[in-house]
Amino acid sequence: MPIKPLYHQTQLERSIPLDPRWEPITSPFNDQSSRLKGRQFEISNLALEIIFCILRPAPGALTMPVILAGAKHPHAQLQKNFIKRFIHSYCVFIVFVLLSSPVYAFYKWEGSKSTVEINGMLQAYGLAYKNPDDSLLFKDNSKAGLGGLGRVILKARKGESLSFDLNAYQTYLSQSIAVSQTATGIAPDVERSSALEWSLSKNSYTHTAIDRLSLRWTKDRVDIIAGRQPINLATTFYFTPNDFFAPFAAQTFYRVYKPGVDAVRTEVRLGELSQLSLIGVLGYDPDKNSSNGWSKRPTGSRASYLGRISKNIYNFEWALIAGMLADEDVIGGSAQGEMFKWLGVRAEAHVSKPESHLSESHAEYSVGIEHHWESSLDARVEYFYHGAGATSVLGYTSLSAAKTGQTRYFGRRYAALGIGYEFTPLLTGQSVFINNLIDHSLLASFNAVYSLSNESELSFSVGVPFGKRPKLFNIRSEYGAYPSSLDIEWRWYF
């Protein structure tokens, strides 16, 4: 029985391999209707115009914090209008989606030995969150804002050997939610060249980026992929210490698009159940004045080189990984499979040794078990040992303290419990509870997704932190410093 992931899957996503190292499907559309053009092209453009006209705020409206009931503020009327606009926008979204007819594809062309396919998605979301009451750490007690994102995906193939992949997005976020990655589905901290990203406004996060741009050459058992591409090295689900490049946060539910990094990757199929991967990833210097926080040109000292070999033995996939991550030497491994025909098991680990004598070597490992019942109930438990983390709250020196890859963790030990259930064929729910075992703080995240049609869905997410709140710039627990959040998101694939 295959191991089933807990996060929400779209209709065509259910057909892909369940190993999270594989690239996720990028657009759940129906191939049988992919030749529809003309009128549907007009509908797609009209939808984009309607969404951004609705979402475009009045000047200054989104930069104000939301005032709780009964509070006084000189801009109370402006904020009241903003809240009405927030609610009105989502009412229009729902009406628009329910009344729209199915649109399955943007464009597809097929020749005798070549194909070109263009599809994409639209997202519209609203986010509200309430920060802990500490004016030294947080400028505003609570905020809310709206945003939108349009993504275009082009896939082309020439003969049996060459294929091309392009994935670009344009996003708009109000200033009030630009610092949050919870609802946006984008990752502004990914280390990659700023030459393929452009910021279009200083008053909001209006950003254009090439998320993927790669060329693949295939011959017999060898694939060589060069360019901006996602690198998936995870085996466990919530805590992924071996996923070194743009990993997802443990509380992320929507994982359809993994951000790309600038890399060259060679995949060699050694046998039916074994594979060798050779990966080289470019590194960049931080640049606060660039469009994405990184320099345009690569820096040799920040480059990474990894090798990974995997083989299936006794219904378990075993893998070894080794190489260099910027200024660190790493060696590790992973395993995944099923025991007793009902219990899924996943594990991954590595040891990192910095080249600098000022830093110490440390180990990272994550172990998880999971099960899927016939009733559609899923459950998963994971334990994470973060060797670079602090052993007490005294080590929480700042919000940018210890981190794994680009997902920050403060403490040394963590545990997570995830539960998923399909209430109806159209409604699924997921939850995850993440516990810092050092300071005993907890982050509870909940997500519900309702399928509006084969091409659209509505998502609701809530994040509730528990733990000691910060006081006078002193972080007394990790998740106690997190905000409470509410996210409403609509997605339409075309």
- Give the range among 10-14, 40-44, 318-322 with minimum mean pLDDT: 10-14
Mean pLDDT of 155-169: 94
Q: Which residue has the tokens 């993504």?
A: 151
* CATH classification code of 12-493: 2.40.160.10
Which string of b and e fits 282-311 if b means at least 16 CB within 10 Å?
Answer: bbbeeeeebbbbbbeebeeebbbebebbbe
pTM for the complete prediction? 0.76
> Is 315 in contact with 339 (CB distance < 8 Å)?
no
Does residue 384 register a pLDDT over 70? yes
pLDDT at 365 over 70: yes
Nearest to residue 55, comparing CAs of 125, 122, 120, 121?
Answer: 125
Q: Which residue has the tokens 């990192």?
A: 352
Output the pLDDT for position 29: 32
Give the model's pLDDT for residue 281. 97
| pLDDT score of 448 more than 90 | yes
Mean pLDDT lowest among 124-133, 256-265, 432-441, 460-469: 124-133
Mean pLDDT to the nearest integer, 185-210:
79
Q: Which residues pair with 148 in a beta bridge?
A: 124, 172
pLDDT of residue 152 exceeding 60: yes
Average pLDDT taken over every residue of the chain: 79
Task: From 305, 293, 301, select the one nearest 327 (Cα to Cα).
Answer: 301
Give residue 204's pLDDT.
64
pLDDT reported for residue 473: 76
What average pLDDT does the segment 434-457 reach? 95
- Look up residue 208 and give its two tokens: 């254009």
> What is the pLDDT at residue 96?
44
Question: What is the pLDDT confidence band of residue 14, given thresholds at 50, 70 and 90?
Answer: very low
Question: Would you kindly state where each structural domain of the chain is located, as residue ranges?
Answer: 12-493
- Is the Cα dihedral 400, 405, 409, 412 positive or negative? negative
Average pLDDT over residues 192-214: 86
- Extract the tokens encoding 253: 């539910």
Identify the residue with better confidence: 66 or 393: 393
* pLDDT given at position 108: 87
Of the chain, the percentage scoring pLDDT greater than 70 comes to 73
Segment 476-483 mean pLDDT = 90
pLDDT in tens, 303-337: 999 999 999 998 899 999 999 998 899 999 999 99
Asked whether residue 353 carries a pLDDT value surpassing 70, the answer given is: yes
pLDDT higher than 80, residue 187: no
Predicted confidence at residue 202, as pLDDT, reads 67
Query: Two tokens at 461?
Result: 């997410």
Which range scores top for mean pLDDT: 63-77, 287-301, 384-398, 439-453? 439-453
pLDDT at 430 over 50: yes
* Structure-token match 């209709």, residue found: 11
Section 56-78 average pLDDT: 38
The answer to whether 75 and 55 are in contact (CB under 8 A) is: no
**pLDDT of the residue at 35:** 33
Average the pLDDT over 332-358 and give the result: 92
| Residue 49 banded pLDDT, cuts 50, 70, 90 | very low
Pick from 203-212, 301-310, 483-492: least confident: 203-212
Better-predicted residue by pLDDT, 87 or 233: 233
